[in-house]
């Protein structure tokens, strides 16, 4: 059997971004590494804040042929001309989002560590399923998505899978054979040089 291709990077923005600085930082990362998709994952629900951030990030991403999806806000993603939506409630909203956004939009679903939610999300039309946290992340209730979940998924299910939250070089090395994407965000934005931090994580894929 062929060994799987190297996973791709799915970049996640910080929960708050400074518009005076972040678009330049983002451009540097997108220019320095191959990124499959960008998720705008802002905290809060202020539409004006989200819209301004989305406009700035979309411009940077689309100039480099990188798709951009918005966390949670289906209608806003559509209105702002983004490529799709990332849902964080397992399989619950996938069907409605797919119906609203149409067949061409990206619809992804975060399913914690639940293979059942992941399978249901896939059946309901999700383009990818994300599991996490895989490491010690600031989010969540202590439940982790272990290697066995990704191993099983990669062998049994065709829907692409994202490993995210709490990633370390060691975890990336372990999970690289059984995931399609690594969702990387806080692991790099908290560093002085996000691109260098990302390149270190990419190097761990082996």
Structure confidence by residue, pLDDT tens digits, 48-107:
999 999 999 999 999 999 999 999 999 999 999 999 999 999 999 999 999 999 999 999
Residue with tokens 């969702």: 183
44 against 12, higher pLDDT:
12
Determine the pLDDT at residue 1: 34
The answer on pLDDT for 27 being more than 90 is: yes
**Cα–Cα distance for residue pair 190/124, rounded to 1 Å:** 35
Determine the pLDDT at residue 136: 81
Radius of gyration of the chain (CA): 16
Q: Beta-strand (E) ranges in the chain?
A: 8-12, 35-40, 67-71, 84-87, 106-110, 128-131, 161-164, 181-184
Mapped onto helix, strand or coil, the DSSP state of residue 164 is: strand
Residue with tokens 């599991």: 131
**Cα–Cα distance for residue pair 183/9, rounded to 1 Å:** 6
| Fold adopted by 8-203 | TIM Barrel (3.20.20)
pLDDT band at 206 (very low <50, low <70, confident <90, very high): confident
CB count within 10 Å of CB 118 equals 27
Q: Answer positive or negative: Cα dihedral of 37, 43, 44, 48.
A: negative
Buried b (16+ CB within 10 A) or exposed e, 3-40: eeeebebbbbbbeebeeeebbebbbebbeebebbbbbb
**Cα–Cα distance for residue pair 169/65, rounded to 1 Å:** 27
Q: Which of 70, 133, 134, 81 is nearest to 107 (CA)?
A: 70
Share the mean pLDDT of the chain: 95
Determine the pLDDT at residue 5: 79
Mapped onto helix, strand or coil, the DSSP state of residue 4 is: coil
């Amino acid at each position: 059997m062929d060994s799987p291709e190297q996973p791709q990077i799915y970049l996640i923005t910080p929960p708050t971004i400074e518009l005076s600085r972040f678009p330049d930082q983002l451009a540097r990362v997108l220019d320095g590494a191959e990124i499959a998709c960008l998720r705008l994952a802002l905290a809060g629900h202020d539409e004006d804040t989200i819209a301004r951030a989305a406009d700035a990030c979309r411009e940077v991403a689309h100039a480099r042929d990188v798709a951009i999806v918005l966390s949670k806000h289906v209608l806003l993603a559509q209105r702002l001309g983004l490529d799709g939506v990332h849902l964080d409630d397992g399989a619950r909203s996938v069907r409605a989002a797919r119906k609203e956004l149409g067949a061409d939009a990206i619809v992804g679903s975060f399913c914690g560590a639940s293979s059942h939610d992941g399978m249901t999300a896939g059946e309901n039309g999700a383009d990818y399923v994300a599991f996490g946290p895989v490491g010690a992340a600031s989010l969540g209730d202590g439940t982790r998505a272990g290697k066995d979940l990704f191993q099983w998924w990669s062998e049994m299910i065709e829907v692409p899978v994202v490993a995210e939250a709490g990633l370390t070089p060691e975890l990336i090395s372990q999970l690289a054979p059984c995931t399609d994407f690594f969702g990387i965000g806080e692991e790099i934005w908290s560093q002085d040089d996000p691109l260098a931090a990302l390149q270190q994580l990419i190097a761990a894929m082996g």
